[in-house]
Structure 1
Amino acid sequence: MLEYTIPEIPILLTFASFLFFINLAEGLANYLIEAGLLGSLVVGIIYGPEAANILPTDAQTTFQVMGYIGLLLIVFEAGLSTDMSLLYKNIWLSLLVALTGVGLPIGLSILLLSVGYKYTVFQGFAAGAALCSTSLGTTLALLSPEIKKTRTGVVLLSAALIDDVVGLVIAAIISEISSVDEASVSIKWQTIVRPIMVSVAFGLFTFIVSRLLRFLVFRLPAEWKDRLRTQRVQLFMLVFVLAGYVAGANYSGTSELFGAYLAGTLLTHVFALSSHEECEDKIEDHQIITPIHAFTVYIIPILQVLLSPLFFASIGAALPIRSLGSVRGSHRVVWRGIIYSLLMGVAKAAVGVWMFVWPERDGGPHILTIIQAATLGTAMVARGEIALIVAEIARPILGDDEPFAVVVWAILLNTVGGAVGVGLVLRARMDKPSRRSSAGALQPSR
């Protein structure tokens, strides 16, 4: 039986300083470069096992779990904020962006690593598989709620989610490849088909159920609808639906992040208000009548100051930075990693070209399309948590030396560069007077 004991002063100071510094660093980074998550990422690296190794192992495990809860809540909030009409209108554009964001990194990885660096084709594929993902947590943490409701934000989010599902399939393939000899690779069709079919089934299920529930809710007596929109009921539904979707997605074989997003879209569609007047009247009376309002009041405070910083700090703590300087006495891993990082950044940023190919129907100044393309391209660059997971799965193929270190270089530099890039793009959009008149490109559609 575990007995209650008073923690020792060194442990108390370690935990307190860690929680304090991740918020302090995030605030400073947000002030300087509009990318606060980099602050907590750096603190995580410093406190992690690869640098100062200040945090105990059990504390690192606990913070990883809490941080992943934060990631699920970040994705859930994105689902709550999604404009469903925009999502349906731009689904084909999202697919093109997602497929480009997967195909280019894998193709260029195989080309550079197998031809230029003389690695094996399997190592090139494994590296590309890790770098084809997009960090949902990083992307969502950088974008304001207003931008998430725009065409650019919706396309970005849905494309990143599709990349996650594809990344899940590729991770399963990588796992199969790493468990057998390259010459006798035999991948079961279920490994590829199951995650795709489960994801499609989850999406269709949510689409049908959300419309059915919305139909039923709007035909309830006014008294019952008011009870459904009370604070406690809304909070209960947030927790119940999110937990159910996350667990169901994981056990059925698809991404729990995809499940968290679908849970948010389900609730926001079912409990959408019938008129703006009703919404404004209720808000003026300080009544929480929709899931997004309940989320903002009850969950956002703890998400912003604790769970979200812990997530990015846990990513920093997981980065194997000691292997980035040299491998077996050779420093060529540094320049190889930087070159590969630049190539992978370009491969993801290239998805912004689709905003020129498929512009908005109502047209507008050319500068609007440039802003949209720059926002989409830079936001897709960050890799983060999914890339680290796939890289760890692919480690038997990549090996423990140079190929793995090159991939880690790309993950680290792209995550940092993508975050800084988005921050600079958003700051430039807000600061330059010539662009203020074009803010409609990133304003919610009516």
Structure 2
Amino acid sequence: MAASLPYHEPDIVTILVLTSFLLLLNIVNAALDRILYCGLLGQVLLGIAWGTPGSKWLSTHVEEVVVQLGYLGLILLVYEGGLSTSFKSLKANLFLSVGVAITGIAFPIAISYSLQGLLDATPLQAFSAGAALCSTSLGTTFTVLAASGLSSSRLGVVLTSAAMMDDVVGLVMVQVISNLGGGNLSPIIVVRPILISVAFAVVVPLACHFIVKPTTLYLNRYREVRPAARIGQIMRLGQTAFALHTALLVALVTGATYAGTSNLLAAYIAGAVISWWDSEVPHLGSCASSETPNPVEGKAQPKGSVQNADEPLEPEPTPTAGSDQVVTEPSTSDKEASNKTTTGEAVYERYYQQAVSRILQPFFFASIGFSIPVTRMFRASIVWRGLVYAILMTFGKLVCGLWLVRFSSGPGKNTPSKLLSRLKLPSAAHFWGKSTAKLSGENPIDPARSNTASSGGIASPAVTGNTAVTSQAAPSPPKPFSLHPPLILALAMTARGEIGFLISAVAESKGVFSSSSTTGDLSSESDIFLVVTWAIVLCTILGPLGVGLSVRRVRALEEKKNKEQEGTGRDVLGVWGVE
């Protein structure tokens, strides 16, 4: 038992291996993100090449450290996804997200019973394989959305919430499957993770509404009455926001882990709570400028300014020593600037972004590569079954995109005006000029509102015929005819990643996939485990690759539309690209 770890300088081979590993993780990621928006695939392949499945240049101890640091990166990726959550969009699309999630769970599990014919699997083995393939990789989802710029769009909200629900169910499956091999399955094993997950999703919002919001409003009033108080100065510091945000994240993750539910769900809830506090709760700067004016604010005159002699002086809230004394309380603009620097996204960008994007996130995707038994997967009987099962599992997630298919251009029935508004007029250029719609959800100027504003409620006489009819169409963003939104959703849901590997590895080690594999020795993997691994690997590769190609196509279409300055008047993503 050593009292300390002896310090030894690493040899040059270790230094070169680690240097090349870390540099290539970032270089390959940047190159593939620029081309296909899926740099994570290169990081997975580098994990295979440098790790145990490939060259074994990284020692087992280094791989274990990379896995542990990578999981920290996964937690922070999910936390960042919570920070970008729009609660208005989440509430408006909650039932849609639930429908997408249920579809993404039910179809893979149902289709997995085809393994009974492919591999003579038992119903329990087929169910366990479906449980591994019903999950959606949260790390892959958030990374793809960030690279494509869709994180805060309506499509991104539906995708992240559905992927989170799928993973919660997947992590519940881990608890169930870990007890299937021992035969001690009881109802409490199934019910407890579900109830705890529901409790976190219900109790935390209630605590925010009845505790956090009243406390914030009380502090707002206290700071307005006592602008020079020490607590006001402390609350304006970015370091204070960092400490509070980090404490909330650590507390929820720790509580969820000990309670028996997903720590990734807790990380997402922590980010969502901070996003809610930033956007839905009034802050001192916003209160002082719009809702409850600060009686002290506005007394300090800038240097060189002269007060109007005819303007009556308002009484000071507190006695002052002299009439020319300047109050040191920050101005409204200073408060608003302080509020912006203490938001969750600003704190994350300042304190976490570089470490996550350059080290922790690459380590996470490389650790997925460590888990792929490449040398044992290329038997002919395993390859063709793995390809067939991967195709079936891809289809099992692609059906999720059907929830986003829309055919009407606006609400209501197909009235004559709606049908005319759907006509394509290739010869009529947009009279308001070049479209400014972007992939991030920015919409072009509505011609109906533009005409009304310019002519006092009467359509502009420059627009006649069918164009005038079009200008009277529904003011809401039109729903797209294209299949790009459902395709992006379906492909993003296809990636399985870390949760799939976790469930399949637990099923294998517990003897669910093979009755002889009860010792946890993975040196002789069962055929079902290898086929499931094939499906997870191919889906994790094809999903982000397909999303990258689709996003690239959407960007090209929008650039073409902006250059031509004419078209149908619809965004490529329609309502799904709106923030």
Match of 2:350 among 283, 297, 300: 297
Q: Deviations over 1:223-272 (max 9, x none)?
A: 54563242101111121111111111111011000000001111121233
Contact kept, 8 Å, 1:217 with 1:225, in 2: the verdict is no
Match of 2:553 among 414, 428, 436: 428
Q: Does 2:187 match 1:189?
A: yes
Contact kept, 8 Å, 2:407 with 2:481, in 1: the verdict is no
**Number of equivalenced pairs:** 434
CA distance in 2: counterparts of 1:82 and 1:99, whole angstroms: 21
- Correspondence 1:168-207 to 2 at 5 A: 168-180=171-183, 187-207=185-205
Of stretches 412-421 and 353-362 in structure 1, the one that deviates more from structure 2 is 353-362
- Correspondence 1:47-446 to 2 at 5 A: 47-110=50-113, 112-144=114-146, 146-180=149-183, 187-211=185-209, 212-220=211-219, 221-222=223-224, 223=227, 224=231, 227-272=234-279, 274=282, 288-326=341-379, 331-356=380-405, 362=476, 364-367=478-481, 370-395=483-508, 396-399=511-514, 400-433=525-558, 437-445=571-579
SS in 1 for 2:9: coil
Runs of 5+ consecutive residues of structure 2 not aligned to the other structure: 291-331, 412-475, 515-524, 563-570
CA distance in 1: counterparts of 2:333 and 2:572, whole angstroms: 27
Query: Residue 444 of structure 1: CA displacement?
Result: 4.1
Match of 1:31 among 34, 37, 41: 34
CA distance in 2: counterparts of 1:162 and 1:351, whole angstroms: 13
SS in 2 for 1:50: coil
Query: Residue 115 of structure 1: CA displacement?
Result: 2.6
Q: Deviations over 1:365-423 (max 9, x none)?
A: 4336x232112111100000000000011112223221111000000000000010111
Amino acid at match of 1:364: P
CA distance in 2: counterparts of 1:225 and 1:35, whole angstroms: 44
SS in 1 for 2:341: coil
Taking structure 1 as the reference length, what is the TM-score of the superposition?
A: 0.91
CA distance in 2: counterparts of 1:194 and 1:342, whole angstroms: 34
Q: Find the counterpart in structure 2 of residue 46 from structure 1.
A: 49
SS in 2 for 1:227: helix
Contact kept, 8 Å, 1:28 with 1:39, in 2: the verdict is no
Query: Residue 154 of structure 1: CA displacement?
Result: 1.2
Contact kept, 8 Å, 1:75 with 1:137, in 2: the verdict is yes
CA distance in 2: counterparts of 1:325 and 1:371, whole angstroms: 35
Q: Deviations over 1:277-317 (max 9, x none)?
A: 99997676896121211111111111111111110011111
CA distance in 2: counterparts of 1:357 and 1:287, whole angstroms: 37
CA distance in 2: counterparts of 1:440 and 1:237, whole angstroms: 38
Amino acid at match of 1:354: W
CA distance in 2: counterparts of 1:155 and 1:225, whole angstroms: 38
Contact kept, 8 Å, 1:217 with 1:270, in 2: the verdict is no
Amino acid at match of 2:352: I
Amino acid at match of 1:366: P
**Please, what is the CA RMSD of the aligned residues?**
2.4
CA distance in 2: counterparts of 1:150 and 1:390, whole angstroms: 31
Amino acid at match of 2:501: L
CA distance in 1: counterparts of 2:239 and 2:574, whole angstroms: 37
SS in 2 for 1:438: coil
Q: Deviations over 1:98-118 (max 9, x none)?
A: 1111110010011x1013432
Closer, same or farther: CA 196–287 of 1 in aligned 2, 3 Å: closer
Match of 1:9 among 9, 12, 25: 12
Contact kept, 8 Å, 2:485 with 2:573, in 1: the verdict is no
SS in 1 for 2:502: helix
Q: By percentage of residues, which structure has more helix?
A: 1
Closer, same or farther: CA 357–439 of 1 in aligned 2, 3 Å: closer
SS in 2 for 1:3: coil
Contact kept, 8 Å, 1:382 with 1:419, in 2: the verdict is yes
CA distance in 2: counterparts of 1:286 and 1:208, whole angstroms: 24
CA distance in 1: counterparts of 2:190 and 2:353, whole angstroms: 37
Closer, same or farther: CA 280–189 of 1 in aligned 2, 3 Å: farther
CA distance in 1: counterparts of 2:70 and 2:377, whole angstroms: 25
CA distance in 2: counterparts of 1:214 and 1:333, whole angstroms: 56
CA distance in 2: counterparts of 1:149 and 1:387, whole angstroms: 26
For the pair shown, which has the larger CA radius of gyration, 1 or 2?
2
